[in-house]
């Protein structure tokens, strides 16, 4: 189920409500997308993760697709491996920050920096989408 938008209906509705219709990794709004966001297993099933509310996050297709089975990544500043951002145990604002026009996300911590790179938060298409979402009042 890592790459599926499907899941138990009651869990899916709880995950969506908790996420407030945003990707819990990059904060992309579901409303500005032409597809249904995915239920991501924070700890992938291949590593023992199960489909319970505490292990599920709402994820856009880009974040879910590049995260896949990753649980760690390299901090580009130190070169050390660190765990990825966990939306259930970490506060987004502690690990990430927006630039002034809200088109790029920067990492505040090793976890944030590694997650920004690993999940490709700042690909050019993502930056353009954020510019448009901001103009539409979605971001």
Q: Which helix (H) or strand (E) holds 16?
A: helix 9-19
The series of mean pLDDT values per 10 residues for the chain, 139 residues long, is 54 95 96 90 95 96 96 98 98 97 96 98 94 90
Answer whether 14's CB lies under 8 Å from 8's CB: no
User: Reduced to 3 states, what is the DSSP secondary structure of residue 90?
Assistant: coil
Per-residue confidence (pLDDT) for residue 41, from 0 to 100 = 96
CA angle, corner 86, sides to 19 and 88, nearest 5? 50
Per-residue confidence (pLDDT) for residue 48, from 0 to 100 = 95
What is the β-pairing status of strands 81-83 and 72-74?
Answer: antiparallel
Per-residue confidence (pLDDT) for residue 5, from 0 to 100 = 47
Per-residue confidence (pLDDT) for residue 7, from 0 to 100 = 54
Q: What is the pTM of this model?
A: 0.90
Q: For the residues of 40-75, what is the DSSP string, one character each? A: EESS-GGGT--SSGGGEEEE-HHHHHHHTT--EEE-
Per-residue confidence (pLDDT) for residue 62, from 0 to 100 = 95
Per-residue confidence (pLDDT) for residue 10, from 0 to 100 = 83
Please give the Cα distance from 54 to 30 (Å, whole number): 21
């Amino acid at each position: 189920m890592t790459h599926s938008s499907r899941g138990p209906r009651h869990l899916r509705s709880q995950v969506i409500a908790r996420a407030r219709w945003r990707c819990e990794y990059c904060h992309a709004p579901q409303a500005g997308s032409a597809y249904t966001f995915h239920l991501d297993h924070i700890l992938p099933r291949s590593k023992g993760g199960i489909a319970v509310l505490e292990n599920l996050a709402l994820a856009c297709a880009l974040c879910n697709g590049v995260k896949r089975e990753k649980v760690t990544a390299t901090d580009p500043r130190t070169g050390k491996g660190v765990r990825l951002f966990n939306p259930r145990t970490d506060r987004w604002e502690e690990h990430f920050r927006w630039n002034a026009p809200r088109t790029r996300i920067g990492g505040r911590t090793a976890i944030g920096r590694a997650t920004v790179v690993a999940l490709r938060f700042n690909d050019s298409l993502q930056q353009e989408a954020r510019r448009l979402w901001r103009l539409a009042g979605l971001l």
